[in-house]
Amino acid sequence: MDGDRKLAKFRRLWWDEGNFHPDADWEEAKLPYVLAEGVTLEEYEVRTEKFNICGLWEWSDGKVIIYELPSDIHEICKAEISARLNSQFDSVRRSDAMIIGTASTRFRTNGESRRSGKEADLSFRPKKRAVTPPYGSDGDDKPWPNLVVEVAYSESEDHVLDKVKNYWLSPGRAHDAIAVKAYPVPEGTVPSRMKAWHFCVSDRRTRGIFPARTEFEFGGNIEEGDCVINIQLDCLYNDARSRIRIPRHILPDPIVLDFYFVNQSILANLDYLDVSDSSDG
């Protein structure tokens, strides 16, 4: 019992001080893990911003819950996807048709006892009209993103898929979502198995039936073009302000996310890919 109390004390430091303490033995923690209780949504939002917590904590009914732990694989995957998408959006960056990488997106409801606060790993949208309060992503009138990306490593496959289909893609929220799941391996090694899904609200049949538009598994040696997700401009610009025309003559349609490059980035960052100049001998 003393050992359990000691672990709880060190783990609580992540909430109290933003300290991901080495003595917390997080690699042995069973997820989901309740980090703090009796917390208001407003306090949760202040702490996540102060400690730069992105997509690792969630808030529900006064509880701060951990579904994902910090990891190199999570950060490498997220960074490469962001770079790949933003490079394709760059040509419209200084125009009315710019694609905005949005920050924390939350949903609050009035008149309901159950509220939740989540933050996507990545999210994107065009300029959009304000929505009717309180149905905005900030619980007021802020528009929701059109594309959300969630990356899971320690987070379970079931939870990340439930979050994508039943939270981000609930009616009136995002239009498309990408989920990526890397299955854990010993520290410093490359995942041998990863999966990716692309969901679009246009494909929803019923509340309980929401097939993936694209789904594939990859790992190891994949080739360019083997594992690709295509994001249509009509989806990316859905519900954009009326004066904005979809820049079909400027942006590729579809926007292509090739997971060959995600895999290469993981290999390179974990030193499993020789990126040295061959002339160095």
pLDDT in tens, 67-116: 999 999 999 999 999 999 999 999 999 999 999 997 556 665 544 445 78
Reading the block at residue 47, the tokens are 């702490």
Confidence of residue 198 (pLDDT cuts 50, 70, 90): very high
In three-state form (DSSP H/G/I as H, E/B as E, the rest C), the secondary structure along the chain is CHHHHHHHHHHHHHHHHCCCCHHHCHHHCCCCEEEECCCCHHHHHHHHHHCCCCCCEEEECCEEEECCCCCHHHHHHHHHHHHHHHHHHHHHCCCCCCCEECCCCEECCCCCCCCEECCCCEEEECCECCCCCCCCCECCCCCCCCEEEEEECCCCHHHHHHHHHHHHCCCCCCCEEEEEEECCCCCCCCCCCEEEEEEEHHHCCCCCCCCCCEEEEECCCCCCCCCEEEECHHHHCCCECCCCCCCCCCCCCCEEEEHHHHHHHHHHHCCCCCCCCHHHC
Confidence of residue 4 (pLDDT cuts 50, 70, 90): confident
Indicate the average pLDDT of the chain. Answer: 90
Residue 135 phi, psi dihedral angles, 5° rounding: -95, 10
Summarize the confidence of residues 168-183 as an average pLDDT: 95
pLDDT of the residue at 113: 44
Compare 151 and 271 and report the one with higher pLDDT: 151
Reading the block at residue 242, the tokens are 């009326």
pLDDT of the residue at 275: 46
Confidence of residue 134 (pLDDT cuts 50, 70, 90): confident
pLDDT above 70: percentage of residues in the chain:
92
Domains and CATH numbers, the chain: 1-67 (no CATH), 69-280 (3.90.1570)
Cβ 137 vs Cβ 165: under 8 Å: no
pLDDT of the residue at 111: 40
Span 21-32, pLDDT tens digits: 999 999 999 999
19 pLDDT more than 60: yes
User: Is this model's pTM higher than 0.75 or not?
Assistant: yes
176-182 and 147-152 beta bridge pairing: parallel
277 pLDDT more than 50: no
Confidence of residue 138 (pLDDT cuts 50, 70, 90): confident
pLDDT above 90: percentage of residues in the chain:
77
Span 40-77, pLDDT tens digits: 988 998 999 899 888 899 998 899 999 999 999 999 99
